[in-house]
Amino acid sequence: MIKKIFFIISGILFLWIGSPINIFAHGFGERYDLPIPLSFFLIGASLTIIFSFLILLLFYNQKEKTNDFKAPIILNQNTINNIPFKIIKTFVKITSVFIFLLIILTGYLGSNNPIENFSAPMIWIIWWVGFGIITPIIGDFWKILNPIKIIFSFIVEKIIKQPKFLDTGLLKYPKVLDVWPIIFSFLLFSWFENVGNGSSPLTLSILITFYSVLTITFMFLFGCKTWLEKGDVFSVYYHIMGSFGIFNISQNQNLKISQISLRLPVLGLAKLKTPTIPFVIFHIILLGTISFDGLSETSLWSKIEILIIPSFGRIITESFGIIIIPTLFFILLWIICWVISVITKEKTPETIITSLIFSLTPIAIAYHIAHYLSYILITGQLIIPLISDPFGFGWNIFGTADYSLNIGIINAKTAWYSSVIIIVLGHIFSVIIAHIKAKEIFSKNSIVIKSQLPFLILMIFYTALSLWIISQPIINH
């Protein structure tokens, strides 16, 4: 299987190089005056996805399993327990907790100007955007860096001497809760990001403090492992995104790193399982809110606001957008899965949607990277002067306080081409994973092919939508 996947990916890259997109000389979407209509890009991108699907049909037509691949082990238990590695782990943990506490302290005590305060750029630019880009490439390293988990582990192991709380809590996790805590948490997080006063350093520190206390409380109630897997939104988010990464970081029952191995990006996601519809809802909200973040900056959404805001106000209008976009995505996906169920006559829409949902993960990853590429490269430089003056008090600890942003670090043409490539490749990976998952649930290859046609249409539609969004001029509210 490993050889086939390598061959498939190589063929896809070849098709990308030879696709019509490559011959065009473009700027950066409409905001940079495309000399050739955007439709040329949409056609080229759609053809690339269709060709990738045809390659799958030709060269991946065996009933094979993704666990055939033997992952090369980079670090085993013996290496991890060595003294040098223990020193490195301790340093990483201390650094993570120090930065976490610095974020909280700067929010409470520092300048109220987000640009002059360490907390806002660190949370929104470096952590949310930056980690969201790096994690799908490297793997779920948040399970190593999570400061709340580190603090909780220290409390139960070193202070109260009750390591059992790492695995089990005072209560059994209620089945009725399922993953609803992460659904509501992510919606609330998205609301503060897009609508609320999330850039305020003081507001951020208050929210982080409340979130930390709440998380530690639930860890005691249901066990750290259980809460991280079902109730902690960011652990679940980074686990999903990190499953695309090249490193597989395994943990033992006490949440200690037991092994780090290499893997192909496709295999990590293909092995994930979706047990319930609520988890599907979470994934759709994740995809929908990322799209809304881009859509809310377009002239189309600006026109919608002009019509609605006079009656309902900005907050209600933006809140409505955060809810309605994921809802429309879910309805569309359910219709596609219902069509697949009718065509194949083998599985229910519920079975299909829970099986194929992770095939949408590369789309979320690709759009996140494409949407924020220029943002992280340019605005991410704000953290450089703040390293020397985190509170905004006029300090210059490391001599970087006078650093000026280099806005020429990436030009418009490079940003546009990079975004197109990233989005198209993300959708191609989605086609691959959808095909692998379809192989697992359908009985015949002919039925697998039938099941993939509606999904292919969905991929093409979302590719066009994503490219259209990033091509629109940014409208400042």
**Cα–Cα distance, 439 to 452 (Å, whole number):** 10
Q: In the prediction, which pLDDT does 68 show?
A: 54
Q: Which of these, 76, 35, 111, 476, lies nearest to 297 by C-alpha position?
A: 476
Q: In the prediction, which pLDDT does 474 show?
A: 63
pTM recorded for the entire structure? 0.85
Query: Which residues of the chain carry a pLDDT beneath 70?
Result: 1-42, 44-46, 53, 56-71, 473-477
Q: In the prediction, which pLDDT does 131 show?
A: 94
Q: In the prediction, which pLDDT does 203 show?
A: 92
Predicted confidence (pLDDT) per residue in 400-412, tens digit: 999 988 888 887 7
Q: In the prediction, which pLDDT does 219 show?
A: 96
Q: In the prediction, which pLDDT does 331 show?
A: 92
Q: In the prediction, which pLDDT does 70 show?
A: 65
For 99, the 3-state DSSP assignment is helix
Using CB atoms within 10 Å of the CB of residue 323, give its burial: 0 to 12 exposed, 13 to 18 middle, 19+ buried.
Answer: middle
Q: Yes or no: say if 301 and 321 are a contact pair by the CB < 8 Å rule.
A: yes
Q: In the prediction, which pLDDT does 156 show?
A: 94
Q: In the prediction, which pLDDT does 37 show?
A: 64
Q: In the prediction, which pLDDT does 108 show?
A: 96
Edge-to-edge strand ranges of the sheet holding 247-251: 73-75, 257-262, 247-251
Q: In the prediction, which pLDDT does 372 show?
A: 86
